[in-house]
Amino acid sequence: MNNRIARQAADDRRVANLELARLRKQFGDVVAIDDVSLTVQAGEFLTLLGASGSGKSTTLMAVAGFVQPTSGQVLINGVDQTRNPPYKRDIGLVFQHYALFPHLTVEKNVAFPLEMRRVGKAETAQRVGRALDLVRLGGFGGRKPSELSGGQQQRVALARALVYEPSILLLDEPLGALDKNLREEMQYEIRRIQQSLGITTISVTHDQQEAITMSDRIAIMRGGRIEQVGTPAEIYERPATRFVAEFMGSSNFLRGRIEAGTGGGLQLRTEAGPVVGLAEGVQAAAGARADLVIRPERLACTAGAQADGHALQATATQIVYVGETWRVSLALASGEHIVASLANRGPLPFAEGERVSVELGGQAQWAVPAGA
């Protein structure tokens, strides 16, 4: 992208912060949003991540003004916008299915919000050209949406949402209609545009990888509530609950009990045998039951049983070739089952049915309250 265009767009844009204060939305007996409080800093990219029915889309529509909260507030730059209609909130919105006008050209689609605001023709042409250059569609203005690929249509929808220079951008499952390869490409493209403009952005998705790739922070939603908010690394590496750990990707859990460590920290005595040190920040008290959280890619396996008290002794019950990795299912003597994802560096040194020694890794481990 032309750096001058990016700088000009950033200079011209007002950047806002957003606050949701005890937001609640009830449809009859169904509580879709349950006492949600959240602050999105100016220029931040925050993703609302959750399964269907978690409340993420309803929360986004409440921010946009298309859903009226039962109670609570939506504040933009400290000003209460809860009762204001959408067109008074200075917000751009990109829908999952783009909502482009099929009979209008790309240029006319992008210009539509400016025409509704009675912006002059000369300024409209300038802004439309800038917006199309920003999304790398300069020269496509005369085409109809039907002449574009899915990814190009998505870029047109993004340009239309940005052309009137809103202070906040909302993305409602923006990549849900794209195939896998194009979806991955557009993750980086949207992030590039957001960073170049510095625009405050809230996205909704059920795709964990999309959230991790694009976001400064992620808010995990469940049953209308926020389960945890943090950076992608915090959410993945230090989940607050077992639900978050499972939702953010494949996880292994080993049952155990918290103990005071010899060095002053905490450790967990697993039912599978090893005693492991816990990372600083684990919220637990000595004597409490807890689940050790181990990502499959963190495990290392060697053939045969070993006397090392820090390793798990297991039997390889299934080995699946996945291309760049091997997926190895392991049965422990404790009756627990775990999965290792091993980098494909050639044939594995063990086969199904053989004994395996499993190293947890040397770093301190993470644990969550049992069953949380």
pLDDT at position 321 is 96
pLDDT at position 11 is 45
pLDDT at position 289 is 94
Q: For residue 317, what are the contacts with CB-CB under 8 A and spacing of at least 6?
A: 329, 330, 331, 337, 352, 353
Both tokens assigned to 3 = 């750096």
Place of tokens 């000003």: 79
The residue ranges of every structural domain in the chain are 3-237, 250-369
For the chain, the 3-state helix, strand and coil shares in percent, each to the nearest 5, are: 30, 35, 40
What CATH architecture does domain 250-369 belong to?
Answer: Beta Barrel (2.40)
Q: Read out DSSP for 118-140?
A: T--HHHHHHHHHHHHHHTT-TT-
In the three-class reduction of DSSP (H, G, I as helix; E, B as strand; rest coil), residue 178 is classed as coil
* b/e 256-293 (16+ beta carbons within 10 angstroms → b): bbbeebeeeebbbebebbbebbbeeebebeeebebbbb
Both tokens assigned to 202 = 């809230």
E strand or H helix at 106: helix 106-116
pLDDT at position 4 is 43
Q: What is the CATH number of domain 3-237?
A: 3.40.50.300
pLDDT in tens, the chain (372 residues): 344 433 444 444 467 999 999 999 999 999 999 999 999 999 999 999 999 999 999 999 999 999 999 999 999 999 999 999 998 899 999 987 778 999 999 999 999 999 889 999 999 999 999 999 999 999 899 999 999 988 899 899 999 999 998 999 999 988 876 777 888 888 898 999 999 999 999 999 999 999 999 999 999 999 999 999 999 999 999 999 999 999 998 999 999 999 998 777 899 999 888 888 899 888 888 899 999 999 999 999 999 877 666 789 999 999 999 999 999 999 998 899 999 999 999 999 999 999 999 988 767 899 999 876
pLDDT at position 307 is 66
* b/e 67-88 (16+ beta carbons within 10 angstroms → b): bebeebebbbbeeebbeeeeee
pLDDT at position 368 is 93
Q: Provide the residue type at 6 as one letter.
A: A
